[in-house]
Amino acid sequence: MSKCKIYVVYDGDKKIGSYTAAEAEEELGIPKKQVAIYEKNEWKYQGRYSFLPQEEPQKGEPGEKKYISNALALDWDFTTKMLLAVGGRKTHGKG
């Protein structure tokens, strides 16, 4: 499956959102094939809307927030408690 390019859309200097070309066509009326052309040439659609590519954070980039699923967090808690119990130590907060 191919990944759609995301564009940050500005109305003058105000950011109004992030859209794919198809979403920009639906919201602003610009033909989706024209979005990349406007972005590349730094043109303004209808004299007001500009398009910039949304940059994706690189893997491991400092400041990037990483989240784990709730199931993984629960599994981690269970495993660490079991390791502590088997190893003869009391679990944190109990005694």
What is the residue type of 46?
Answer: Q
- The C-alpha atoms of residue 78 and residue 80 are separated, in whole angstroms, by 6
Q: Is the pTM of this model over 0.75?
A: no
- Can you tell me whether residue 18 is helix, strand or coil? strand
Along the chain (95 residues), what's the average pLDDT of each consecutive run of 10 residues? 81 93 94 95 95 73 62 84 79 57
How many residues are listed for the chain in this entry?
A: 95
pLDDT of 14: 94
Say what the pLDDT of residue 1 is.
44
Q: Where are the beta strands (DSSP E) in the chain?
A: 7-11, 14-19, 49-53
pLDDT given at position 77: 86
The reported pLDDT for the residue numbered 91 is 57
